[in-house]
Amino acid sequence: MNETLEPSASSAVPKWASNLQECMDEQREELRSVSEKLSLLIEILSPKETEGPTLDDLLARLIEVVQEQNPILRRIDRTTGFTLDHLEGRPVRRDGDEDAHLS
What integer is the mean pLDDT of 78-93?
A: 83
Determine the Cα–Cα distance for residues 19 and 11; give it in Å rounded to an integer: 13
Question: How far apart (Å, rounded) are the C-alpha atoms in residues 21 and 8?
Answer: 15
Domain count, the chain: 2
Q: Report the pLDDT value the prediction gives residue 1, as an integer from 0 to 100.
A: 46
Backbone Cα Rg of the chain? 37
Count CB neighbours of 62 within 10 A. Answer: 10
Judgement on whether residues 36 and 80 belong to the same structural domain of the protein: no
At 96 the three-state DSSP class reads coil
* Confidence at residue 43, expressed as pLDDT on a 0 to 100 scale: 86
Rounded to whole angstroms, the Cα distance separating 88 from 80 reads: 12
Q: State mean pLDDT over 3-14.
A: 62
Residues 99 and 57 in one domain: yes
Average pLDDT over residues 2-30: 78
**Residue 41 pLDDT > 90, yes or no?**
no
Say yes or no: 40 and 54 in one domain: no
Mean pLDDT score, 71-94? 84
- pLDDT, mean over the chain: 80
d(CA 10, CA 83): 98
| One domain, residues 68 and 81 | yes
What's the average model confidence in pLDDT over 10-18?
82
Domain span at 85? 50-103
Tell whether 39 and 56 lie within a shared domain. Answer: no
Q: Are residues 3 and 34 in the same domain?
A: yes
Instruction: Answer whether residue 36 shows pLDDT above 90.
Output: yes
Both 37 and 55 in one domain: the answer is no
CB 15 within 8 A of CB 4: yes
Reported as a single tens digit per residue, the pLDDT across 62-77 is 999 988 888 888 888 8
